[in-house]
Amino acid sequence: MNDPTPSFLKRVSLAFGSFFNTLSSPGYAARVQDLCEPAVPAPAAPAAPVVFKEAAPDAALQLLALLQREARLIDFVQEDLSGYTDAEIGGPARLVHEGCAKVLREHFSLVPVRPEAEGSRITLDDGFDARAIRLTGNVVGQAPFHGALSHRGWRATDTRLPRLAAGHDASVLAQAEVEL
């Protein structure tokens, strides 16, 4: 009967013998290859391929231009604020906030993903929409999951971006201004 745990010298002998047999015998090499490849169970059902769609950069640039026009968002974010106090940043931040809120109100209809108040205890049953709900913290096991709603999330139900004229350069988010 063979020892289930061969000694070091026996393993060296096996390694050299396997090496030379693999080089000289295609059949032996095929058997070694089968031993080396992990067995992969067949999937229960073929997984649908993930289809990616191209994001339209003009719409993103248009939104960024609206946020710049109404809230001066790019100017605010590009500014180095390290030399300002919190009190000095407060006024400009309020203007940026008001302008961003105006753009959202005018161009989007938004509703919360979850209707409960933040901080509420909720239960997520098996089959919850993982595209709309992200689990955070100590995520272990299977649904149902019990936790506190830390953010309600947002879903856009309508988008109302202005039409762009043919030939419009959407990459110009804010024109340079020259005072005469």
Tell me the C-alpha distance between 61 and 75, whole Å. 15
**Mean per-residue pLDDT over the chain, rounded:** 86
**Alpha carbon of 125 to those of 3, 106, 139, 150: distances in Å?**
51, 36, 14, 18
**Higher confidence at residue 12 or residue 96?**
96
* Burial category of 140 from C-beta neighbours within 10 Å (exposed 0-12, middle 13-18, buried 19 and up): exposed
Span 83-87, average pLDDT: 94
Over residues 20-39, the mean pLDDT reads 68
Residue 52 pLDDT class (50, 70, 90 cuts): confident
The tokens of 26 are what?
């295609």
Dmax (CA) for the chain in angstroms is 99
pLDDT at 9: 61
What are the structural domain ranges in the chain?
A: 113-161
- Cα gap 143→123, rounded to integer Å: 9
Cα distance between the two ends of the chain = 99
Q: For residues 43 and 48, give the distance between their C-alpha atoms in angstroms, rounded to a whole number.
A: 12
Token pair 């997520």 is found at 124
Predicted confidence at residue 78, as pLDDT, reads 94
Indicate if the pLDDT at residue 1 is higher than 60: no
Q: Are 78 and 173 in contact (CB under 8 A)?
A: no
Whether the pLDDT of residue 3 is over 60: the answer is no
Each residue's pLDDT tens digit, 133-157:
999 999 999 999 999 999 999 999 9
